[in-house]
């Protein structure tokens, strides 16, 4: 009850803050906006020194925050790091460009749009000027290279002599989906100021370079920092005491969004999601002593909740918050498809089952499936799926060591087979502040 009360109070305060932010933005109160930015910061790292002139703001984003938190364990330079709610920037964006540009298309299609971008940039520059005066600031870190409200923030940072670093967290792509992404970047996103870019893998790096958004000297593969936590779990964990299955619920558009935008296709993985979810519900009924965690994806939980049809046994727990590591430490079996969480599970030593060979996957989408090969169990139908899952739950084991094929897969997908992506990410940050 107390927890719910705190949650309601917190949401009410956020709602009030946003209303104040919108009022300040609409009335061009640059100093007051800067002050609101200041009191909205939340410190995420404090080095051994009690005071540091160097301050870095992370533009908060799910998943990316975890990458930063892990990287900060390797921090050397005395510097303070803060999480900043991106909505405060978006309130200013809405005055000038709402509905005119998007993550999918940031082109200046008309002179009017270009002029509004300049006005938006000028507004941000004035806020940042006062923010820097009252707080001091060395760098911004953004977590998605295509997030449209932050492009002019990068340019405004440059005019105020503040570094702008991109740690692009959306990196899981097949060669075909990377080709679509590169084309989208090249045609619909203009090059903008970034001091340095860190990406998960070579596929992302090559796409950004080929699109002309960055020079070779300003981009490196750091790998996915939060996967370090999975490696650490594997090295220190013991066999689970009780069998537990974690299901990262299938997103119907996983890995196919750019294709759908490009050719207006409507095929997706919904039939696969229904099939796998119903199979797991059936298994849960048959194994009442096994804990089942169904982890929904942020932004897709409504679609995924609709997959829970029929009688749901009490040993299934739906979870809507948190990241992969929260559930992997004591998991026996992990089920997932086309998601970073599957690779985190492999790195953590879990037994992974992927339905990537099911006939419910449309032929037109097979080039957009990230195949796991011999790094996971790959049933071809419902019967095989149920047999494999039940067998693994009974064995209740994990892998202490990674095979060479799993290491290659982790490097190709997330640039992290060694558990040192956090150190590489931190070096990139500290080289730029």
- Provide the pairing of β-strand 139-142 with 55-59: parallel
pLDDT band at 319 (very low <50, low <70, confident <90, very high): confident
Residue 71 above 60 pLDDT? yes
Query: pLDDT of 143-195, one tens digit each?
Result: 999 999 999 999 999 999 999 999 998 888 999 999 999 999 999 998 889 99
Residue 49 above 90 pLDDT? no
- C-alpha 269/C-alpha 363 separation (Å) is 11
pLDDT band at 9 (very low <50, low <70, confident <90, very high): confident
- C-alpha 261/C-alpha 257 separation (Å) is 6
* Neighbouring C-beta atoms of residue 59, cutoff 10 Å: 22
pLDDT of residue 1: 64
pLDDT of residue 261: 79
User: Which tokens is 314 given?
Assistant: 């009490």
- Provide the pairing of β-strand 351-353 with 291-295: unpaired
Residue 48 above 50 pLDDT? no
- C-alpha 201/C-alpha 45 separation (Å) is 26
Average pLDDT over residues 302-324: 81
Least confident of 98-102, 188-192, 262-266, 352-356: 262-266
pLDDT of residue 315: 94
Average pLDDT over residues 67-83: 91
pLDDT band at 51 (very low <50, low <70, confident <90, very high): low
User: Which tokens is 56 given?
Assistant: 């870095």
Residue 323 above 90 pLDDT? no
Q: Kind and range of the H or E element at 293?
A: strand 291-295
Query: pLDDT of 89-113, one tens digit each?
Result: 999 999 999 999 999 899 988 999 9
Query: pLDDT of 358-373, one tens digit each?
Result: 999 999 999 999 999 9
Cβ partners under 8 Å of residue 311, min gap 6: 285
8 Å CB contact between 290 and 195: no
Cross-sheet strand order for the sheet of 196-199: 42-45, 80-84, 55-59, 139-142, 163-167, 196-199, 219-221
pLDDT of residue 2: 67
DSSP 233-249: HHHH----SS-EEEEEP
pLDDT of residue 348: 94
- Provide the pairing of β-strand 351-353 with 333-335: parallel
Per cent of the chain over pLDDT 70 is: 97
pLDDT of residue 371: 94
- C-alpha 217/C-alpha 94 separation (Å) is 34
User: Which tokens is 177 given?
Assistant: 């989906």
Query: pLDDT of 279-294, one tens digit each?
Result: 999 999 999 999 999 9
pTM for the model stands at 0.89
User: Which tokens is 72 given?
Assistant: 């900060």
> Across the chain, what does the average pLDDT equal?
91
Residue 39 above 90 pLDDT? yes
User: Which tokens is 306 given?
Assistant: 């609709």
Tokens 């009410």 identify what position?
A: 12
8 Å CB contact between 261 and 101: no
Going along the chain from its start, the domains and CATH numbers come out as: 20-225+420-430 (3.40.50), 229-414 (3.40.50.2000)
DSSP 157-203: HHHTT-EEEEE-------HHHHHHHHHHHHHH------SEEEESSHH
Query: pLDDT of 370-388, one tens digit each?
Result: 999 999 999 999 999 999 9
User: Which tokens is 119 given?
Assistant: 């006005």
């Amino acid at each position: 009850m107390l927890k719910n009360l705190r949650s309601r109070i917190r949401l009410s305060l956020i709602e009030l803050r946003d209303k104040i932010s919108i009022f300040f933005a609409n009335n061009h109160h640059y100093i007051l906006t800067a002050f609101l930015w200041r009191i909205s910061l939340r410190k995420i790292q404090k080095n051994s020194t009690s005071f540091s002139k160097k301050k870095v703001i992370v533009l908060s984003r799910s998943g990316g925050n975890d990458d930063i938190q892990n990287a900060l364990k390797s921090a050397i330079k005395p510097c303070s790091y803060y999480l900043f709610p991106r909505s405060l920037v978006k309130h200013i964006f809405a005055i000038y460009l709402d509905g005119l540009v998007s993550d999918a298309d940031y082109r200046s299609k008309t002179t009017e749009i270009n002029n509004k971008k300049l006005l938006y940039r000028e507004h941000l520059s004035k806020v940042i000027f006062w923010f820097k005066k009252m707080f001091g600031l060395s760098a911004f870190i953004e977590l998605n290279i295509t997030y449209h409200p932050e492009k002019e923030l990068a340019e405004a940072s440059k005019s105020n002599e503040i570094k702008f670093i991109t740690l692009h967290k959306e990196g899981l792509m097949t060669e075909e989906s990377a080709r679509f992404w590169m084309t989208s970047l090249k045609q619909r996103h203009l090059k903008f100021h970034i001091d340095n870019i860190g990406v998960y893998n070579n596929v992302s790096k090559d796409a950004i370079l080929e699109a002309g958004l960055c020079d070779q000297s300003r981009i490196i593969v750091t790998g996915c920092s939060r996967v370090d936590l999975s490696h650490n779990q594997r090295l220190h964990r013991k066999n689970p005491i009780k069998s537990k299955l974690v299901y990262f619920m299938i997103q119907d558009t996983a890995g196919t969004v750019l294709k759908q935008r490009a050719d207006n296709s409507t095929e997706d993985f919904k039939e696969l999601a229904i099939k796998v979810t119903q199979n797991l519900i059936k298994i849960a009924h048959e194994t009442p002593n096994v804990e089942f965690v169904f982890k929904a994806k942020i932004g897709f939980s409504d679609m995924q909740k609709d997959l829970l049809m029929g009688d749901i046994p009490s040993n299934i727990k739906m979870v809507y918050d948190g990241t992969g590591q929260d559930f992997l430490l004591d998991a026996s079996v992990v089920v997932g498809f086309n998601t970073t969480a599957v690779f985190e599970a492999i790195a953590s030593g879990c037994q992974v089952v992927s339905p990537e060979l099911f006939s419910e996957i449309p032929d037109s989408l097979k080039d957009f499936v990230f195949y796991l090969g011999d790094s996971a169990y790959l049933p071809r139908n419902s019967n095989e799926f149920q047999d494999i899952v039940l067998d693994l739950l009974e064995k209740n084991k994990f892998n202490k060591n990674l095979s060479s094929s799993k290491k290659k897969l982790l490097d190709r997908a997330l640039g992290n087979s060694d558990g040192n992506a956090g150190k590489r990410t931190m070096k990139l940050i500290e080289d730029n502040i």
